[in-house]
Structure 1
Amino acid sequence: MGNINSVVIATGTHGNEFTGIYLGKKFEQFPKLIQRPSFDTRVLLSNPKAFAAARRYIDKDLNRCFASEDIKNPQLASYEDILAKNIYYLLAEESKHQQQVIIDLHSSTANMQLTIILGSKHPFILQLAAHLNAINPDVRICYSQPTRDSNFLCSISELGFAIEVGPVAQGVLNAELFQKTEALIYQVLDYIESYNHGMNQPQTSTLTYYQYAGVIDYPRNEYGEIQGMIYPQLQFRDYEPLNPGEPIFLTFDGTAIAYQGTSTVYPIFINEAAYYEKGIAMCLTQKKTLEI
């Protein structure tokens, strides 16, 4: 693989996730912060109309609009579908002629700390993830196998990944998480600069990551109405082990509902506000180790 030629920092894919949006505005105001000698870096505000309205999206979730079948489908013509097509053809065309890294910035109401979500196991991305995990105690690595229903904006490039930061409420800024995200971006850019110059990076032989294994919905009645909440002792325990038989929900009548799985899992996106509409109370992951 040749040198990295450009980095795109995508912000506002969800218009009410302010951490990335305002960090991008800072970078546009002070562009020298993200420029490195060996490659170009620019900011892309992905969904400006949703940001102006302080909403996650206008018609549909932009970050679920990048499946190749959807991009090619002329019948899909909502605001976000058209936006996704424009972004896709712009960045995909650039990626044909250069090595391009796409960093898609998100924030979460769940206790995700600094989570890097990988959609591929490209060697460069794996080594970058291992490096960040080794130098930054807040960094967690997740791997999501791309499917038709989960092709995200960052999947446009083989060298794309997303960053989820939390916990932070929708439509607000949290200074501590803003600063942590900013520092993480600089660590990514510095790593790429060192890579382009052929400088030796600290070699990490193993990478611990969390692989998506499924989702769990809230308990519901026959009308589809939610009948329970995340169990109090599970709230904000993202990335901690969950064993069979341990409680995960508390119903409105005070009954605890236990996890019915057969093995230990590691839930993430616990009680994510944006996932209520998707029927997701938490995502389950398996903890794995990869030799790099």
Structure 2
Amino acid sequence: MSQIERVAIVGGNHGNELTGVHLVKKFQQYPNLIHRASFETLALLGNLKAIEEGKRYIDKDLNRCFTNQGLQNPQLSSYEDTRAKAIQQILQPQNQPSVDVIVDLHSTTANMGLSLIFCDMHPFLLRLGAYLSSTNPMVKVFVNQQSREGGFLRSLCELGFVIEVGAVAQNILNAELFQQTEQLIYGILDYFEAYNQGNIPQKSSTLTFYQYIRTIDYPRSDAYGGLRQRGEIKAMIHPHLQFRDYEPLNPGDPMFITFEGKEIFYEGEFTVYPIFINEAAYYEKGIAMHLSQKQQKIV
């Protein structure tokens, strides 16, 4: 792979995820913090109007607006569709080099620590993940190959990936997680600098990662007419599962509990590792959690 020449750090793709918003504002104010000699680093705010209003989005989720079809469709004129096109022009300017890496900063109400989310098994990203997780036990790697076609910002770039930090409430700053995310970003930039200089740091050649299997919705009543596409939620995340992201969920373990107190158990045939458990922003998407499989790979 050729050298890394341009890196974009994007925060506020969702306007109420303040860790990324304020890190990018800090980097814009103090660009020396993200300056490295061998490549250019751009700090960019995503959904400007949603950031101003303290909302996840204005009309639609910006982080689903980066499909090729949507970006090329002039008829799509919502605020987020328009902003997605503007961001693409910044990151992929005509007749100029595109960014080589996109680091998309997000926070979650789920207890996911410092998670790196990759949309494929690119060898460079896997080696980066192995290095970062070997130097910091809070770092976990989640690979969701189905997300390549989901219109995510990171899909604009071969080496695009997400840093997902939690648990932190929406529209809230958590100083400890803010500082840990900041240090993780500096570690990533230092890794890129070392790579460009032909001196790739590597503490471990084995990567432990979590491979996406599927999503699980909350138990719901039957949907009824009108605009509602899903029925009402009938159960909550079980207290034994809440905040246990990346921990094993075995067949027969409690998964949900109804409002009447009835337990609902995991009926799968093998152990899985849930993540994004009870993410607040996913209620509207019909997602209670993602299920993943824990794997190891020599990188």
Same fold (TM over 0.5): yes
Contact 2:119 / 2:148 at 8 angstroms: preserved in 1? no
**Matched residue pairs, number?**
292
Instruction: Give the letter aligned to residue 30 of structure 2.
Output: F
Contact 1:21 / 1:45 at 8 angstroms: preserved in 2? yes
- C-alpha separation in 2, matches of 1:14 and 1:282: 19
Aligned to 2:289: 282
TM-score, scaled relative to structure 1? 0.96
1:84, CA displacement in angstroms? 1.1
Aligned to 2:71: 71
Aligned to 2:280: 273
Structure 1 residue 242 and structure 2 residue 249: aligned? yes
Aligned to 2:141: 141
What is the DSSP-based 3-state SS (H/G/I as helix, E as strand, rest coil) of the residue aligned with 1:85?
helix
Cα deviations by residue, 1:176-202 (Å, 9 ceiling, x for unpaired)? 000000000000011111111111422
Contact 1:275 / 1:281 at 8 angstroms: preserved in 2? yes
- C-alpha separation in 2, matches of 1:126 and 1:252: 42
Q: Structure 2 unaligned runs (5+)?
A: 224-230
Aligned to 2:238: 231
Q: Between the two proteins, what is the percent identity of the paired residues? A: 58
Aligned to 1:125: 125
- C-alpha separation in 2, matches of 1:271 and 1:166: 12
Q: Structure 1 unaligned runs (5+)?
A: none
Contact 2:62 / 2:84 at 8 angstroms: preserved in 1? yes
Cα deviations by residue, 1:17-52 (Å, 9 ceiling, x for unpaired)? 000111111111211111011111121101110000
- C-alpha separation in 2, matches of 1:265 and 1:20: 29
User: Over the residues paired in the alignment, what is the CA RMSD in angstroms?
Assistant: 1.6
TM-score, scaled relative to structure 2? 0.93
Aligned to 1:176: 176
Q: Cα 1:194–1:47, aligned 2, differ >3 Å: closer, same or farther?
A: same
What is the DSSP-based 3-state SS (H/G/I as helix, E as strand, rest coil) of the residue aligned with 1:234?
coil
- C-alpha separation in 1, matches of 2:296 and 2:95: 30
Cα deviations by residue, 1:121-167 (Å, 9 ceiling, x for unpaired)? 22221111111111111000011114575231011110110000000
Q: Cα 1:28–1:284, aligned 2, differ >3 Å: closer, same or farther?
A: same
